Amino acid sequence: MKVLVTGGAGFIGGHVVDQLVGDGAEVVVLDSLVAHSEPPSHLPDAVDLRVADLRDPDAVAHASGDVDAVCHQAARVGLGVDLDDVADYVSDNDLGTAVLLRALWRRRFTGRLVVASSMVVYGEGRYRCPAHGVVTPGPRSGADLDAGRFEPPCPRCGAALSWDRVTEDAAPDPRNVYAATKLHTEQLAFVYGRETGAPVCALRYHNVYGPRMPRDTPYAGVASIFRSALAAGAAPRVFEDGGQVRDFVHAGDVARANVLALGSAWTGPVNVASGEPHTILEMATALCAAFGPDAPAPVVTGEYRLGDVRHVVASPERAAEVLGFEARTSFVAGMAEFAHAPLRR
Ligand code: UD1
């Protein structure tokens, strides 16, 4: 099998490439390398690396010309800085996906298409009210967060809610530019699938971490921020009260989910998660403990970022059912490795 991995020099794409090459696949990587300060040394020699922008129609047509399957990982990731980023996100993620799909259409590609999506398309997690069942709380107000009221209340009766696992049929509610472009990436890919009959799977990654994760930037997730702080001798700063729940899934597991998806014909969105939720404070504590006896302890600051989601926890059931995917790296083992794993500059 010959597979095109867009963004294959990146963090998650690189792990996908490692596993595909290990499985004996022929791999073409299309990557602009704009997020790299030095050429990636981790790519296996056997990989056919094409350094080009996804929005370059000729480069995309050449790279995808004779592949059997496409694994689309290239994207501008993270939360961004402010709305000044909007045109760059739309250009990289929406237009980049569109140029890829047009190239595939022009060669009448009906092979397997797997696209990287994110749990950010859900907006909020799933919550349950003791009186009203499953409810959708609105965004948390600055006044509530200032007062340390971090848990979103029931929108109907104001009662305390408990979190529940989000399933793929939850209504999408993208709340930032990145989330909107990820949902659009999925939608464009599904349109391609409907028009051509190509089986399309969108993998909704939860909080991915692991070796070669990019270091702390305005675009980085919390695992990288905490790990970079420790490397600099600083304590991880845990926002809110540290009780926010997430699902941290190891990049090697995410890569395996991609390989399983490439080998299946399931069409639709699938959560990719470890199934082992933890609070942000638990993650910070585990990482500090694994970093070594001299590591500073996490500091719970009570700060908040307006627009942050309180709890997002995936249901990993569909991934198990349709892809046969279950994460193999436990939280404890993954954090122990991540505490000393190399990060990308
Ligand atoms: C993150 C990603 C999102 C990605 C998703 C799934 C970012 C900014 N967000 O969403 O793009 O799709 O995972 O992989 O990359 N926090 C701290 N201290 C800090 C930074 C953050 O306590 O220094 C807290 C935040 O308040 C939040 C939690 O950690 O409660 C997670 O933050 P983060 O990883 O940035 O964003 P997610 O919403 O989980």
The predicted model gives 312-321 an average pLDDT of 96
Note the pLDDT of residue 38. 79
Query: Does the pLDDT of residue 184 top 80, yes or no?
Result: yes
Cα–Cα distance for residue pair 330/323, rounded to 1 Å:
19
pLDDT in tens, 67-108: 999 999 999 987 667 888 999 999 999 999 999 999 999 999
Give mean pLDDT, residues 20-40.
92
Check residue 307 and give its pLDDT.
Answer: 79
At 218 the pLDDT is 66
Structural domains in the chain?
2-126+165-340 (3.40.50.720), 127-164 (no CATH)
CA distance 158 to 304: 21
Name the DSSP letter for residue 162. Answer: E
* Ligand 1 close to Cβ of residue 173 (< 6 A): no
Q: Does residue 78 line the site of ligand 1, with CB under 6 A?
A: yes
Lowest-confidence pick of 186-200, 267-281, 305-319: 305-319
Q: Is the pLDDT of residue 238 over 70?
A: yes
The preferred substitution site among 92, 207, 228 for testing ligand 1, maximizing ligand atoms within 8 Å of CB, is 207
Closest to 207 measured CA to CA, from 225, 184, 232: 225
* Shortest-distance Cα residue to atom 12 of ligand 1: 118
Structure tokens belonging to residue 130: 């003791």
Q: Give the confidence band of 287 by pLDDT, cuts at 50, 70, 90.
A: very high
First to last CA, the chain: 32
Q: What is the predicted pLDDT for the residue at 45?
A: 93
- Per DSSP, 320 falls in state I
Alpha carbon 128 to its chain centroid, in Å, reads 25
For ligand 1, say whether the CB of 161 is within 6 Å of any of its atoms. Answer: no
Does the pLDDT at position 256 exceed 70? yes
Q: Buried b / exposed e across 149-160, counting CB within 10 Å, b at 16+? A: ebbbbbeeeeee
| Amino acid (one-letter) located at 263 | G
How many other C-beta atoms lie within 10 A of the C-beta of residue 174?
17
Inter-axis angle of helices 331-338 and 280-291, nearest 10: 50
What is residue 139's DSSP assignment?
A: P
CB of 127 shorter than 6 A to ligand 1 = no
Q: What percent of the chain has pLDDT over 70?
A: 99
306 pLDDT above the threshold of 90:
no
Dist CA 237 CA 298 (whole Å):
6
The mean pLDDT value for 288-311 works out to 94
- Ligand 1 contacts CB of residue 6 (under 6 A): no
Q: Cα-flanking dihedrals φ and ψ of residue 302, to 5°?
A: 75, -5
The predicted structure's pLDDT at residue 220: 79
Residue closest by Cα to atom 21 of ligand 1: 222
Residues 181-217 as b/e (b if ≥16 CB within 10 A, e otherwise) read bbbbbbebbbebbeebebbbbbbbbbbbbbbbbbbbe
Q: How far is the CA of 242 from the centre of ligand 1 (A)?
A: 12
* Nearest Cα to Cα of residue 227 among 167, 268, 144, 286: 286
Q: Which protein residue has the closest C-alpha to ligand 1 atom 39?
A: 207
The reported pLDDT for the residue numbered 41 is 86
Q: Indicate if the pLDDT at residue 345 is higher than 90.
A: no
Residue 37, pLDDT above cutoff 70: yes
Predicted pLDDT of residue 39: 76
Whole-model pTM: value is 0.96
- Position in ligand 1 atom list of the atom nearest CA 226: 23
Mean pLDDT over 29-33 rounds to: 97
Nearest to 327 by CA among 268, 256, 223: 256
